A and B are shown apart, each in its own frame.
Chain A
Amino acid sequence: MTEIVTSQTPPILNGPSEKERKYDRQLRLWAASGQAALESANILLVNSGAGTVGVEALKNLVLPGIGRFAIYDDALVNEADLGVNFFLDESCLGKSRSQSLTALLLELNPEVQGAWFPNRENVTSLESLLVSSPVFTAAIYTYPVQPEHLSLLKTYGLQHKIPLFGVHSAGFYSYFKIGLPGAFPIVDTHPDETATTDFRLLTPWPELLTFARDLTRDIDNLDHMEHGHLPYAVILLYYLDQWKLAHSGVSPKTYKEKTEFRKIVQSAARTDNAEGGEENFEEAAAAVLKTLVSPSLPSGLKEVFEYKSKFPAEERSGFWIIADAVEKFYAEHQCLPVPGNVPDMKAQSKVYVQLQNIYKAKARQDAAEVLNTVRATEGGQNIDPAEVELFCKNAAFVKLINATGGDSNSTASAGDHLKTVVDQELENDKNAEAMMMPLSLLPIYLALQATSHVSSANADEILAEICKVVPGANQNERIVKAAHEVARAEGGELHNIAALTGGMVAQEMIKIVTKQYVPIDNTCVFDGINSRCQVLRL
């Protein structure tokens, strides 16, 4: 006899894997794609000096699961290391610092691989490491750094087009500077959700108009339930139609017209119901100023387009080919592809889902058009449609870092640029109090930078060094104080400042490796006395 088994239970649902559970709290930030990027990253740390800040940065990268790291550090562990570095203990005294650090860092995450140098085998210098190792995704070096190590790293960075992080932490002060191998575009910038509403109410397409008109055809005779659940985008489209009828086909443009329009919407809400008002009309009125805007080119994308025309010879990665296609789209339609997301709003489920589908369909259609252009471009045949979709969805928030072009690791003309920034910052400081602005942290950078290659210096030596770049710096009280504060540390790190800076460096490394969120451009200075930081382009 055959038995027919019927079951009401849905198919077995697999819970998260062990790895997904371990990384759950970070996957909510950068998703599987970001995690995959991290897991294929290979990070080099060239460690020197007191030696903590780079290790703290590395710790924050090992924990979320970078693929591998290497530490180059020729120091032997001494007593002072144990008072500042958590990844060393008594048993490490006198041993290779890179070896000890690597062992204790690897305990943090069994999925990460690590190597230490110089080792007793083949790799005895940084040069031989850079030659023999698989290519690093990025490198971190800590100050004070040997000049020859720095020049080796810069050459390597240029050759392999990888980002270099220079980090300096001494006493209460620190800074780090990211040298990117060229312009760095980010598509997945994670903008604030409230900023992403883009309804195109002033330039609706036929499907959207038809949908809105169908719902509002008999608006005055809708029952309270239906009237009170018209999506606010639909309400606005209806009253825009009405407005245009009365204003020879022109939408409200000026602030005055928009507030007048808002009043019309507000007064259209019904009050003869249980609530004595209507939430959806309140939502509509509140959205007038934000949503009744003509499409325009956001500054980030404009920068991308301009950069593209300035540096046409730049390597044509997928990003630039798509950017090209989006620019063509914009030229043709005077607007960007529709992003397709619809924020939550008061509406009935069915109507909301329909509205969502109208926006999604339009977004797909626009993305398909961009994809066609991409496909017709040389080198665009193999670009992943998902990449095109993501670009279209985020087009308004695409950002370009290090957009002045070229390699920010190069030292040419760096001195002149620094001088200009110093003049500007010191000038701003004169008015800072009146403007209620915080003072510049550039003096801290100058004082730290003066000890880039020495383990310790007194205030006079530091000031003399600063004066080489900024003549007369010894007359500036804040620079003098910064020099004294740096001298006080004698090149030593405070663990807290090293940990804090290591945290910031790790955040930035994650942003650059995952190409998500927006990294700094390009130097971040931290003042542990006043507990604040400043980002400067140096």
Chain B
Amino acid sequence: MLKIWSMKKEQQKAENAEGAAGGKKKKVTAAQLRVQKDLSELSLGTTMTTEFPDPDDILSFILYIEPDEGMYYGGRFSFTFNITPNFPHEPPKVQCREKIYHPNIDLEGKVCLNILREDWKPVLNLNAVIVGLQFLFLEPNASDPLNKEAAEDLRQNREAFKRNVRAAMNGYTVKGEAFDKVMIQ
């Protein structure tokens, strides 16, 4: 059998001297540790809060966004975050919990944000994702729509679109679709 031990000893530098120790207990996984780090570095500002239904499970939580400017001002939007053990190799799965009128969020709550899909890289962190989500409410993008009707609306007539956003946020029906009420009283 390969003499790994002697090889290792030769290679070992003093700095690692107090390194690993064996054991049979459960270990903190790379994904968990990375999420822990990302969470402790989140900068939520005044417009965002989190909620952990089970504080011991940091791989699933809810993010609330209350935009303080722009056309979605006054609303409270929530997103579920589900992180797999393959994080950060895979991006977190994010979904909007309310049915809202937004060119980049469809009626099922799917979000079109590049870093949640095609442009995700393991060096990105959860903060980058929440910044991206926040940005969607300030600058909805009509050129790359997920909700085509909303995008068309925004492109044709920004003022009319704004009115429809307000109506939808108040729980009214827009273009035949009933939306969830997300206005904070």
Contacts and interface: CB of A to CB of B under 8 A. Distances in A.
Direct contact of A and B (CB under 8 A): yes
Interface of A: 223-225, 228-229, 273-275
Contacts of B141: 273-275
B36 interface: no
Secondary structure at the A interface, as helix, strand, loop or mixed, is loop
A230 to B, nearest CB: 12
Nearest to B138: A274
Interface string B132-170: 000000011111100000000001000000000000000
Contacts of B155: 223-225
A275 B141 CA distance: 7
Interface of B: 139-144, 155
Contacts of A275: 141, 143-144
A281 to B, nearest CB: 13
Nearest to A279: B144
Contacts of A273: 141, 143
A229 B145 CA distance: 12
A413 B64 CA distance: 80
A275 B139 CA distance: 8
7 contacts: A224-B143, A224-B155, A225-B155, A228-B143, A273-B141, A274-B140, A274-B143
A224 B151 CA distance: 12
Main secondary structure of the interface of B (DSSP, over half): loop
B17 to A, nearest CB: 33
Contacts of A223: 155
A455 to B, nearest CB: 32
Contacts of B139: 274
Give the residue among B140, B141, B143, B144 with the most A Cβ atoms within 10 A: B143
B15 to A, nearest CB: 30
Which interface residue of A225, A229, A273, A274 has the most chain B CB atoms within 10 A?
A: A274
A41 to B, nearest CB: 41
Nearest to A224: B143
A166 B143 CA distance: 61
A275 B142 CA distance: 10
Given A225-B142, A228-B143, 14 more contacts: A224-B142, A224-B143, A224-B155, A225-B143, A228-B144, A273-B141, A273-B143, A274-B139, A274-B140, A274-B141, A274-B143, A275-B141, A275-B143, A275-B144
Contacts of A225: 142-143, 155
A20 B39 CA distance: 49
A115 B142 CA distance: 68
Contacts of B144: 228, 275
B36 to A, nearest CB: 32
Contacts of B142: 224-225, 274
Contacts of A228: 143-144
Nearest to B155: A225
Nearest to B151: A225
A275 B143 CA distance: 9
Contacts of B140: 274
A273 B103 CA distance: 14
A517 B155 CA distance: 49
Nearest to A276: B139
A275 to B, nearest CB: 6
Contacts of A224: 142-143, 155
A273 B140 CA distance: 10
Nearest to A229: B143
A202 to B, nearest CB: 30
7 tightest CB-CB pairs across the interface, nearest first? A274-B141, A274-B139, A228-B143, A225-B143, A224-B143, A225-B155, A275-B141
A308 to B, nearest CB: 46
A223 B142 CA distance: 11
A176 B38 CA distance: 54
A337 to B, nearest CB: 33
A228 B140 CA distance: 15
A223 B155 CA distance: 9
B143 to A, nearest CB: 5
A228 B143 CA distance: 7
